[in-house]
Amino acid sequence: MSASELVSFLSSAIIASMPILLAAVGEVFDQRGGVMNLGLEGVMLMGAVSGYVAVVKTGSLTVAVLCAVGAGLLMGLLFSFLVVTLQADQTVCGLSITLFGTGLSGYIGKSVSGVASSLVFKPVSIPLLSKIPVLGPVLFHQDVMVYFMYVLVFASWFYIYKTKGGLILRSLGENPSTADVLGISVVNLRYLYTCLGSVLAALGGAYLTLAYTPLWADKMTSGKGWIALALVIFSMWNPLLVAVGAFLFGGINVLALRMQVAGAAVPSQFLNMLPYLCTILVLIFATGNFRGRRKSLAPKALGQPYDRESR
């Protein structure tokens, strides 16, 4: 592989990883707070369609991003209401959000199906840094959303591990009743972090329609929401590892197709299985309780509704 091919491949891997990455970082916040949102696929689609409809109707990327954020917020509020206030089962609620989001996005997207938009986030080179050989163009000749992602990943990591706010967040997920006793509003904060997670997932979906493939197609996320969920577990709820995992997955996806082009002797269906099999293997090795290994790092209260009266 020549240098330029390598640059192209790595660059593509980063872009391909963006939707999953944003959604996964958002879900890290969710799950650290003790809420498991399986509805990422539906939220991403809602973000994607909202962004696209907005950009087609208003011609402004800023408005489009705001619309995607709004869609994420609404979905987040709906989900929070169901699982935090009404304390419904988080797994099934998440699945129903997926179903609902998929159907609703399909309906909203009807008006822009087949409508082209030339407004996308174009790559912007960062001076000096983008001149570094190989890594320069790969990392620093990307669009604004990618740069936002760099900041997001580090800021999230810093917040979760190094600030008081992050400590409180972690306590929500480990031991909400203790947090409650200490005067922390479990309900309010869970709403906050769940909505934050939703917003980020919606932005991940919007990246698809505003940067990666600027068009709207029904169900166009094709399972990215689920991969994002796998990534969260694989990364042990650490945003930095989420980024690594997302690049890996994006890279393998790109690789599978390039291998087909390169003429691999394997039937193409098996090549297409690679990303999924790799994700499973990584999941097993990263989170499995092998002999002598420490136990799962999952937030202890993950997935359980917090019911004050049963304290």
Partner 1 sequence: MRKPFRLQKRDDSPVSLRIVICVCSVLLALVFCGILILAMGNNPVAAYARLFRGAFGSGTRLGTTAAKAIPLMLCGLCVAVAFKMRLMTIGAEGQMTLGCLAASGVALFSHIPGPMMLVVMMLAGFAAGGVWALISVLPKVYLGVSEVIVTLLLNYVAMLFSDYFVYGPWRDPKGDNMPFSAPFADNARLPKLFGSEVHLGIVIAIVAALILWFIFKKTVWGYEIRVIGESPKAARYAGMNIRRNMLLTMLISGGLAGLAGACEVSGTVGILKSGISNDSGYTAIIIAYLSKFNPLVVLLVSFLFGGLQAGGYSMQLVGLPVQIVTMLQGSILLFVLGGEFLTRYKIVPNRAGKEAAVHVGE
Partner 2 sequence: MKKNEMRILALLLTLALAIACLAGCSSGKAETAETTAAGSAATTAAGSAATTAAGERKCKVGVVNTGTAETMAWTRAHKEGIDYLKEKMPDLDVVWVEDVADSGPDCGTVIDELVNEGCNLIFTTSYGFMQATQEAAKKYPNVLFFHNQSTTYGDNLGVYDVRDYEAVFLTGYLAERVSKGNFLGYVGTNPMPTVIRAANAFALGAKYANSDVKMQAVFTNSWYDVTAEKEAALALIDSGAKALGMQVSSPAVVQASQERGIYSVGFSDDMHDYAPKSVLCSFKWNWGPLYLYMVQSFIDGTLTKGEDLFFGLDKGCGGITAYNKDLVSDDIAKDCDALFEKLKSGDVKVFYGAIKDNTGKTHGTADKDLPSEDIRSMDWLVDFMSGKV
Three-state SS string over the chain comes to CCHHHHHHHHHHHHHHHHHHHHHHHHHHHHHHCCCCCCCHHHHHHHHHHHHHHHHHHHCCHHHHHHHHHHHHHHHHHHHHHHHHHCCCCHHHHHHHHHHHHHHHHHHHHHHHCCCCCCCCCCCEECCCHHHCCCHHHHHHEECHHHHHHHHHHHHHHHHHHHCHHHHHHHHHHHCHHHHHHCCCCHHHHHHHHHHHHHHHHHHHHHHHHHHHCCCCCCCCCCCHHHHHHHHHHHCCCCHHHHHHHHHHHHHHHHHHHHHHHCCCCCCHHHHHHHHHHHHHHHHHHHHCCCCCCCCCCCCCCCCCCCCHHHC
Q: Tell me how far, at minimum, the Cβ of 100 lies from partner 1, in Å.
A: 4
Q: Tell me how far, at minimum, the Cβ of 189 lies from partner 2, in Å.
A: 32
CB-wise, 72 or 214, nearer to partner 2? 214
Q: Tell me how far, at minimum, the Cβ of 112 lies from partner 1, in Å.
A: 15
Tokens for 207?
Answer: 């990246």
Q: Tell me how far, at minimum, the Cβ of 275 lies from partner 1, in Å.
A: 9
**Residue 82, contacted partner among partner 1, partner 2, none, CB below 5-8 A by kind:** partner 1
**Residue 151, contacted partner among partner 1, partner 2, none, CB below 5-8 A by kind:** none
CB-wise, 116 or 128, nearer to partner 2? 116
Rule CB under 8 A: say whether 214 interacts with partner 2.
Answer: yes
CB-wise, 91 or 163, nearer to partner 1? 91
Beta bridge partners of 124: 142
Rule CB under 8 A: say whether 272 interacts with partner 2.
Answer: yes
Rule CB under 8 A: say whether 274 interacts with partner 2.
Answer: no
Rule CB under 8 A: say whether 57 interacts with partner 2.
Answer: no
> How many residues in the shown chain lie near partner 2 by CB under 8 A?
35
CB-wise, 19 or 176, nearer to partner 2? 19
CB-wise, 68 or 227, nearer to partner 1? 227
**Residue 102, contacted partner among partner 1, partner 2, none, CB below 5-8 A by kind:** partner 1
Query: In the complex, which residues of this chain contact partner 2 (CB under 8 A)?
Result: 5, 8-9, 12, 16, 106, 109-110, 113-114, 116, 118, 208, 212-215, 217-220, 222, 224, 253-254, 257-258, 260-263, 267-269, 272
